[in-house]
Amino acid sequence: MSSPVDDLLHRIAALEREIEAERTRLGDRWRYRIEHGRVRFEREVRHAHRRFRRSIAGYLRDSQILNLLTAPAIYSMIVPIALLDLWVSAYQAICFRAYGIARVRRSAYIVVDRHHLSYLNGIEKLNCMFCSYANGVFAFVREVAGRTEQYWCPIRHAKRVHGPHVHYRDFVDYGDAEAYHRRLAGLRKALAAEPPADR
């Protein structure tokens, strides 16, 4: 028997599917398609985009001084982010095999495609690549952590959780001891298969 929270979480999943359908329609609007994993704009769109590209000198000249001064601090984060990426990749390679959990595909979370935009200059492309990688790593880590939590402790919190991971919707209600013991083995078994793309 589903609870009102379960119903709400299923409605959220349906809305996420609608968002994905809208993303597909945006490709038609802005005249690009994805072929073999690469973004392809129509030729005239690429030419139009190039007209909007700012020179690097102009970009630097118009930048706020604080943006330029803090850039090294931002880019220094590449070291801990790359170490986190490496560490979590090793963790899931070892532990997920031991637990029978399907491994998370990094490529589904670390999406670097903004450098294909002709209206960005070299610095803007580098900034976008950094942000794509960093946020992709965090999303990848979150998915690994979510699957780990489903294996070890698939219980919703009593307090509100801001932006819970996708596995959270399948967890048992806080305080429902009977459901926890009844559903734990099934929740673990469900992790053996790759979750559907529309989750």
- Name the percent of the chain in helix, strand, coil, to the closest 5: 65, 5, 30
pTM: 0.81
Residue 79 inside a domain? The answer is: yes
Query: What domain range is 83 assigned to?
Result: 45-190
**pLDDT at position 198, please?**
46
Phi, psi (5° rounding) for residue 155? -125, 130
What is the rounded end-to-end Cα distance, in angstroms, of the chain?
A: 20
Chain length of the chain: 199
Residue 80 inside a domain? The answer is: yes
**Total domain count, the chain:** 1
pLDDT in tens, the chain (199 residues): 577 877 887 888 888 889 888 877 877 787 787 888 788 888 888 888 888 889 999 988 999 999 999 999 999 999 999 999 999 999 999 999 999 999 999 999 999 998 889 999 999 999 999 999 999 999 999 999 999 999 999 999 999 999 999 999 999 999 999 999 999 999 999 999 876 554 4
- Report which DSSP code applies to 172: B
d(CA 83, CA 171): 30
- Residue 50's SS3 state is helix
Residue 179 inside a domain? The answer is: yes
For residue 106, give both structure tokens: 């990094």
173 contacts 5 by C-beta, under 8 angstroms: yes
Residue 145 inside a domain? The answer is: yes
